Amino acid sequence: MKGILLFLSMVFIGFAGFSQSSKQVQWIYTSKKIADKTYEIHMLARINGDYHIYSQDVGGEGPVPTAFSFNKNPLTLLEGKVVEKGKVVTKFESAWNHNVKYYEATVDFVQIVKLKASVKTNLAGKVEFMVCNEKQCLPPSEVEINVNIGG
């Protein structure tokens, strides 16, 4: 019985730890029509307090870079890669022993999506990210993405 309780406690603590990064970042998803059947998908990250979120190209081994994965949708075509818009900080972090790239306060990740027809649909997927501050790094988190487009 003690073994089962210990195991369940460890599982709960593990899940609580993995959700910590997502508590430090608020994600806001919007779409903006920029041409006929073409949309900018904005994935705005608002970072709490003194934490920072890493770039998609973090600059080396160590921290988990922000990464986007999108579900296949036969009605959409992704154009290019996700672009970062914000004030990037490049700084030496002794924990990783090299320069890393990250964002403080906010960063807007933008993906261009073309629709194959004039329809309403969505762009869905996930974003994986990690946040750190001067004292600690929190375990990586995954958050669902779901943005309505078209119409």
Domain assignment of residue 126, given as a range: 2-150
CATH code assigned at 101:
2.60.40.1250
One-letter amino acid of 113: V
- For residue 95, what pLDDT is reported? 85
CA 87 to chain centre: 16
Burial 83-104 (b: 16+ CB within 10 A, else e): ebebeeeeeebeebeeebbbbb
Residue 21 phi, psi dihedral angles, 5° rounding:
-60, -40
Helix (DSSP H) and strand (DSSP E) numbers for the chain: 2, 11
Taking only the tens place, the pLDDT of each residue in 73-86 is 999 999 999 999 99
Q: How many domains are contained in the chain?
A: 1
Give the Cα separation of 102 and 89 in Å (integer).
5
Taking only the tens place, the pLDDT of each residue in 64-119 is 999 999 999 999 999 999 999 999 999 999 888 999 999 999 999 999 999 999 99
